[in-house]
Amino acid sequence: MTALLPYGRHSVTEDDVAAVVAALRSDWLTTGPQVDAFEADLAGWTGGVACAAVANGTAALHVAYAAAGIGPGDEVVVPPMTFAATASTAVALGARVVFADVEEETYTLDPAAVAAAVTSRTRVVSAVDYAGHPADHDALRGVLAGTGALLLADAAHSIGATYHGRPVGSLADLTTFSFFPTKNLTTAEGGAVAALDPALLARARRFRNHGLVRDRAEQRWPDEGGWHQEVHEFGLNYRLPDVLCALGRSQLRRLGDFLAARERLVRRYDEALADLPGVRRPGRRSWARPAWHLYPIRVLDGRRREVYDRMRAAGIGVQVNYIPAHWHPVFADLGYRRGSCPVAEGFYAEQLSLPLYPGLTEADQERVVDALGAALRASTARAAA
């Protein structure tokens, strides 16, 4: 039986293993020097914007919303074409999520839809860099001018991408990253929050560490003793261990190579699928250099489910990214309804992610393209019978 070709896969080398082993043999396993070093290395990819490393991408969103002061009565605008965590972490803090539709070409947040969604209660607008393509941050900034709302970039897919030549991480008030194994670099589990305002970053760092206040100058009762620490606002343990930060530092040294490999594979997909009937390739804007976490095609004429099943049966691990967030039963039970974001919902009905990761070989890619063509031909023949 042919082995399943996954849609995403991590890339771990002996250098990565050596970095982890060295951390394991050091005096630090949890919060130590590798955390600070990893955060400094990350800032090299965000245009110098400081970062706080956290336990995972979902934690990054929760931490960012907490740093923004999100609470009951606040509204957070979110696109539906994202993993549920972009919305659920805001709900966990008591906010009401308002879903705004996406653009037809890039499936990132539509500034016109945001303009219609923003109210006096809007505290954060979360723009998801879908598939690694940056959202139109300047247009979103224009919509939010004078509202007092913060712009958050959910950059789980897009570390290393640029927008008008500016790096992701420097574009929004808050930016969140994910380092899950299928992402563009990995710390196994892990994430980070970047913040333009040092005060927001300080709040993020405090929230990820139980809300603890150790600086005597900020404590209410500073003369208790050298052991003393206080909690002024509730936080959680979202720390990323030293050993995983060591892996992240090693991975970051190859991020440029990872991005170049993904870009090369995307060009080959673009060429191979240019004349394939029944498929629409992913769009992009001239001002963006995407990080290409996903290669999302559209399978036309209502054939996505059949093509998915046929490709999976052929050992090609295609995926669908994502079920519109407001379709999940937890949101349906809160009163959110299908049909409210027609562009995102129409895209979902046709979306299929083809395998894409740096270790994908040309032979692997040819296998994917051949299987896609065969699935489409079989679907066409069945429909004509």
Among candidate residues 192, 208, 159, 201, the one with its CA nearest the CA of residue 53: 192
Full DSSP string of 17-54: HHHHHHHHTSS-SSSSHHHHHHHHHHHTTTTT--EEEE
> Which residue type is seen at 79?
P
Catalytic residue among 133, 183, 205, 310: 183
> Which residue type is seen at 348?
Y
Among candidate residues 156, 125, 157, 120, the one with its CA nearest the CA of residue 139: 125
Full DSSP string of 311-364: HHHTTB--B-----GGGSHHHHTTT--TTSSHHHHHHHTTEEEEP--TT--HHH
Measured in whole angstroms, how far is the alpha carbon of residue 173 from the centre of its chain? Answer: 16
Residue 296 per-residue DSSP state = E
Active site includes 183? yes
CB 132 within 8 A of CB 293: yes
The whole-angstrom separation of Cα 26 and Cα 33 is 10
Helix (H) or strand (E) holding 370: helix 362-384
The whole-angstrom separation of Cα 211 and Cα 191 is 18
Q: Which residues have a catalytic role annotated?
A: 183
